[in-house]
């Protein structure tokens, strides 16, 4: 019986070769993030990345297979911290949502249990290249886009939409729910994307300790108020998307 083909493995060496392999792989990823962030996916070659990372092109291909594989590895590296912070809260929320009925207070508590670790991740100081890499990955369809959607953005949106939908007594697929969900996540993501501007406006040097707690509390109070004090209009049975010929918009029926 033939053995199943195995993916690339880091070769072990009695003198610490495995550890060197891990360091080399990390150096390639960090170099690639900087270059992809600066020039974009299409304009960055693996040869240029290998040269700057001080490795051979075959070595880069050994670890990642291709430029697409390297781009996906960069996306996983950038999203690792956020995904790990969110994992415990996400598991708790999914268990709780299995309950048929939850009070508004319980739903708000679940939402905050997701929002707080997300905000902590966004407030953590990271290289500027991470922000640029993430922004570029979202601006067009690249190998990293799918990783970000499947690993972090997609599950996060669905989880928050489920909670917000229950608070508003709407299904998670409702446009109002989806817009509010995306808006909420975008508001928190701004803490990382606009970090220098936000810190300057607040006259803070960083988002640590008591300053982080103030930020979390203030943002949460705004989010909570927008959900608790909202009166949604009744949904129309059908939205008209076209105007019949011969009838001007706003004319009498």
Q: What is the CATH number of the domain that holds 99?
A: 1.10.357.10
Rounded to 5 degrees, what are φ and ψ at 223?
-65, -45
Q: What was the pLDDT predicted at 65?
A: 95
Q: What was the pLDDT predicted at 235?
A: 57
Task: Kindly state whether residues 154 and 43 are assigned to the same domain.
Answer: no
Domain carrying residue 208 = 75-228
- Reported as a single tens digit per residue, the pLDDT across 194-229 is 999 999 999 999 999 999 999 999 999 999 999 987
Task: Kindly state whether residues 37 and 158 are assigned to the same domain.
Answer: no
Task: Kindly state whether residues 21 and 95 are assigned to the same domain.
Answer: no
Task: Kindly state whether residues 101 and 177 are assigned to the same domain.
Answer: yes
Contacts of 146 (CB under 8 A, 6+ apart): 72
53 belongs to a structural domain: yes
Q: What was the pLDDT predicted at 31?
A: 97
In whole angstroms, give the CA distance from residue 64 to residue 15. Answer: 24
Task: Kindly state whether residues 153 and 174 are assigned to the same domain.
Answer: yes
- Reported as a single tens digit per residue, the pLDDT across 95-133 is 999 976 899 999 999 999 999 999 999 999 999 999 999
Q: What was the pLDDT predicted at 2?
A: 41
Q: What was the pLDDT predicted at 3?
A: 44
Task: Kindly state whether residues 141 and 24 are assigned to the same domain.
Answer: no
10 belongs to a structural domain: no
- Domain count for the chain, please give it: 2
Q: Are 109 and 92 in contact (CB under 8 A)?
A: no
Q: What was the pLDDT predicted at 63?
A: 95
In whole angstroms, give the CA distance from residue 236 to residue 171. Answer: 15
């Amino acid at each position: 019986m033939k053995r199943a083909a195995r993916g690339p493995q880091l070769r072990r060496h009695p003198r610490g070769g495995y550890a060197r392999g891990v360091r080399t792989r990390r150096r390639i990823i960090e170099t690639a993030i900087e270059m992809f962030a600066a020039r974009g996916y299409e304009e960055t070659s693996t040869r240029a990345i290998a040269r700057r990372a001080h490795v051979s092109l075959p070595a880069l291909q050994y670890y990642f297979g291709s430029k697409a594989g390297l781009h996906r590895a960069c996306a996983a590296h950038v999203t690792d911290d956020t995904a790990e912070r969110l994992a415990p809260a996400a598991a708790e929320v999914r268990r709780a949502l299995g309950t048929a009925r939850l009070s508004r207070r319980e739903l708000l508590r679940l939402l905050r249990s997701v929002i707080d670790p997300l905000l902590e991740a966004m407030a953590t100081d990271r290289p500027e290249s991470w922000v640029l890499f993430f922004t570029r990955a979202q601006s067009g369809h690249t190998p990293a886009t799918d990783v970000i959607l499947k690993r972090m953005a997609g599950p996060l949106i669905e989880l928050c939409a489920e909670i917000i939908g229950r608070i508003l007594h709407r299904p998670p697929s409702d446009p109002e729910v989806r817009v509010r969900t995306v808006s909420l996540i975008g508001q928190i993501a701004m803490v990382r994307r606009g970090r220098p501007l936000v810190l300057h406006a607040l006259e803070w040097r960083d988002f640590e300790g008591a300053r982080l707690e103030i930020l979390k509390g203030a943002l949460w109070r705004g989010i909570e108020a927008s959900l608790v004090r909202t009166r949604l209009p009744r949904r129309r049975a059908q939205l008209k998307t076209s105007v019949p010929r011969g009838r001007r918009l706003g004319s009498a029926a």
